[in-house]
């Protein structure tokens, strides 16, 4: 045993069950507080007067699937949220009246996915929404009257990837995919799209260049823009003269989040996330407030909501070694009051730091990565254990996404079970400039996988990991990486945990959701084009399914039956191929889930199964599963003996 026995097991339910509260916000008029919290065991919307947060009441009554996203209507009269059915990602928009509590669906259509196109601080009872109920590939733009529910069509979406509106809810820009794998940007005047684009990207800038919104007066358009540079800069464009001003850039990483004034829309601060996230102010007053909050709070901060007069904020803080919390901040009085701690039961738990590290790839690229170690394995907290440990390589999805520094329940869970945990931003990950993304083009299962192998060898070489006791685990692309690890490098890992991972890149591209059509050309150029002989060969060569006979290490698969991105067939295929060859596999299906496990009882159940699986193959600690699996909808379609 590599971890001292006196370190208590942190219960899975405390890490992955419902938080006490989450997503706390203040209404634009400052009169009310809102948040998500359990109601009859399911995450629902709650509301309370800002003057008396204890006088709270639930505003929704979801019975099975948790609400995961919501926002305030600009007039503060309603809360808006989206909800799908059993993970199908056909999100519909709902409105809850804060006075009456009336809860109504504003987009009552079947097989439809709503997107928010535009919000307004001056037309507070309206929204622009995109609906694909006419054609599942394209979102038509409608103006939605929040009070009456009336929808008025503004523009058809055929051929367009999206639209951008100003605060008057006037459509100003249309975005259309082009033959180079990028996007063309067209001006819109009087709901007529210009014949020629005023801006464009090719493939290399497609993921790092996009409009970031208008100022309220419509005079300035902000861009996050990598054209002419590697990392994306924050740029302001004068919509009358076309003059462009670079407001911020960083050679290490793309400009990420921006903080804009709630009334004027003027960007006042921006964030850069290389190893950790840093906020830099453009406005002196905002800079002073951010400095004050950094002095008062320990951890990474985010401004999660602001009143329209900008006098009161909700501030989320992530202490990494403690549960995230949200505070109420009165800027006039300089008063900071605790709103809530998301998981108070973890406040005194043996949580561990996350170490940001830079790992060299074999060809010289730098891989920003994050390492967590068991509580008593690294007494000096220097990032190197006293002795090498079994390790879990936890691979992020996307792949066009990234791992970040912060409180991570999976890192905390696995470290508590006596494993080193390493998450790697392999090439193709976002946030580190366009060259780093492009380095992953056509490299699924090749150089992208080499980066993961290089990271494991780095951990072994530094005395962090035991070479023969490393597991690979991840969801979506991370699930693909798991399957690639067990097929392309069959002796590199002791076992693998694949969650909603594609096994066959050819069928993956054949079955993506119809509303992803605007980015199909990007998929073809970055993964392989199935419409060409060489592209089809590449996709087949990089598909773990066709190398299933090479699997010699234990594999656990988790899948949602209703996944619209990585269809159930992706897991069915690899499990069947293994069974046909008498290769043991454990395959768990959740009939009421999609791309991941949203219901806590299902997530806890799968993690209980994974924990037993890892303990059997790596030798770590294990909390007994008890009744958690029986309390879920888990179905074992295959079970290794």
For the annotated catalytic residues, the residue numbers are 476, 563, 595
Tell which residue, 46, 188, 50, has the closest CA to residue 128: 188
Strand locations in 40-98 (E): 42-49, 57-58, 69-72, 78-83, 92-97
Q: What are phi and psi of 82, to 5 degrees?
A: -120, 150
What is d(CA 223, CA 239) in angstroms, rounded to the nearest whole number? 12
**DSSP secondary structure letter of residue 505:** H
What is d(CA 486, CA 544) in angstroms, rounded to the nearest whole number? 8
Token pair for 290? 């951010």
E strand or H helix at 163: strand 162-165
Please count the CA atoms within 13 angstroms of the CA of 71 that sit on its side-chain side: 11
Token pair for 256? 């990420």
Token pair for 82? 């989206």
Token pair for 582? 């008498």
Token pair for 619? 């030798």
CB 480 within 8 A of CB 444: yes
What is d(CA 263, CA 120) in angstroms, rounded to the nearest whole number? 10
Instruction: Find residue 82's DSSP bridge partners.
Output: 69, 93
Angle, alpha carbons 512-514-518 (nearest 5°): 95
Rg (CA), the chain: 24
Tell which residue, 126, 76, 136, has the closest CA to residue 106: 126
Token pair for 513? 């959701």
CB 586 within 8 A of CB 558: no
Token pair for 305? 């909501």
């Amino acid at each position: 045993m590599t971890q001292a026995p006196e370190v208590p097991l942190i219960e899975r339910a405390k890490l992955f069950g419902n938080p006490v509260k989450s997503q706390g916000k203040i209404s634009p008029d400052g009169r009310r507080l809102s948040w998500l919290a359990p109601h009859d065991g399911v995450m629902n919307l709650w509301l309370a007067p800002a003057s008396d947060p204890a006088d709270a009441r639930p505003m929704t009554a979801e019975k099975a699937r948790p609400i995961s996203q919501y926002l305030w209507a600009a007039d503060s009269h309603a809360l808006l949220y989206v909800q799908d059915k059993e993970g199908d990602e056909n999100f519909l928009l709902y409105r809850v009246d804060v006075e009456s509590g009336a809860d109504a669906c504003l987009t009552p259509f079947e097989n439809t996915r709503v997107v928010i196109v535009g919000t307004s601080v001056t037309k507070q009872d309206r929204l622009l929404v995109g609906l694909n109920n006419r054609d599942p590939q394209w979102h038509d733009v409608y103006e939605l009257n929040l009070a009456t529910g009336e929808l008025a069509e503004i523009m058809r979406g055929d051929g367009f990837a999206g639209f951008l509106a100003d605060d008057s809810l006037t459509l100003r820009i249309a975005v259309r995919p082009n033959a180079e794998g990028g996007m063309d940007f067209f001006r819109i005047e009087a709901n007529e799209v210009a014949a020629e684009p005023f801006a464009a990207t090719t493939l290399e800038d497609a993921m790092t260049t996009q409009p970031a919104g208008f100022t309220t007066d419509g005079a300035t358009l902000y861009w996050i823009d990598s054209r002419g540079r590697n990392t994306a800069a924050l740029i302001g464009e004068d919509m009358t003269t076309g003059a462009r001003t670079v407001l911020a850039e960083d050679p290490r990483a793309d400009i990420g989040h921006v903080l804009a004034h709630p009334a004027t829309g003027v960007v006042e601060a921006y964030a850069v996330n290389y190893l950790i996230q840093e906020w830099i102010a453009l406005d002196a007053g905002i800079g002073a407030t951010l400095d004050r909050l950094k002095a008062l709070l320990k951890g990474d901060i985010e401004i999660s909501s602001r009143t329209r007069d900008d006098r009161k904020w909700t501030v989320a803080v992530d202490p990494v070694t403690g549960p995230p919390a949200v505070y109420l901040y009165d800027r006039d009085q300089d008063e900071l009051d605790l709103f809530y701690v998301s998981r108070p039961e973890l406040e005194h738990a043996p949580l561990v730091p996350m170490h940001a590290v830079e790992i060299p790839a074999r060809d010289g690229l730098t891989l920003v990565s994050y390492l967590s170690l068991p509580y008593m394995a690294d007494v000096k907290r220097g990032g190197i254990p006293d002795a090498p440990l079994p390790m879990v390589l936890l691979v992020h999805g996307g792949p066009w996404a990234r791992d970040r520094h912060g409180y991570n329940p999976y890192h905390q869970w696995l470290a508590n079970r006596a494993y080193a945990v390493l998450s790697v931003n392999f090439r193709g990950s976002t946030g580190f400039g366009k060259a780093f993304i492009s380095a992953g083009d056509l490299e699924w299962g090749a150089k992208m996988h080499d980066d993961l192998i290089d990271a494991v060898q780095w951990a072994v070489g530094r005395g962090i990991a035991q070479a023969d006791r490393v597991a690979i685990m991840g969801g979506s692309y991370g699930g693909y990486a798991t399957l690639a690890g067990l097929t392309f490098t069959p002796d590199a890992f002791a076992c693998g945990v694949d969650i909603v991972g594609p096994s066959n890149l050819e069928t993956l591209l054949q079955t993506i959701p119809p509303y992803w059509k605007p980015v199909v050309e990007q998929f073809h150029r970055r993964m392989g084009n199935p419409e060409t002989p060489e592209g089809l060969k590449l996709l087949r060569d990089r598909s773990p399914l066709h190398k299933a006979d090479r699997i010699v290490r234990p594999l656990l698969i988790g899948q949602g039956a209703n996944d619209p991105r990585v269809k159930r067939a992706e897991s069915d295929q690899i499990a069947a191929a293994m069974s046909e060859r008498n290769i043991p596999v454990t395959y768990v299906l959740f009939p009421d889930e999609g791309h991941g496990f949203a219901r806590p009882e299902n997530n806890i159940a799968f993690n209980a199964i994974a924990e037993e699986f890892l303990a059997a193959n790596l030798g770590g600690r294990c909390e007994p599963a008890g009744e958690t699996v029986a309390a879920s909808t888990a179905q074992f379609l295959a079970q290794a003996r």
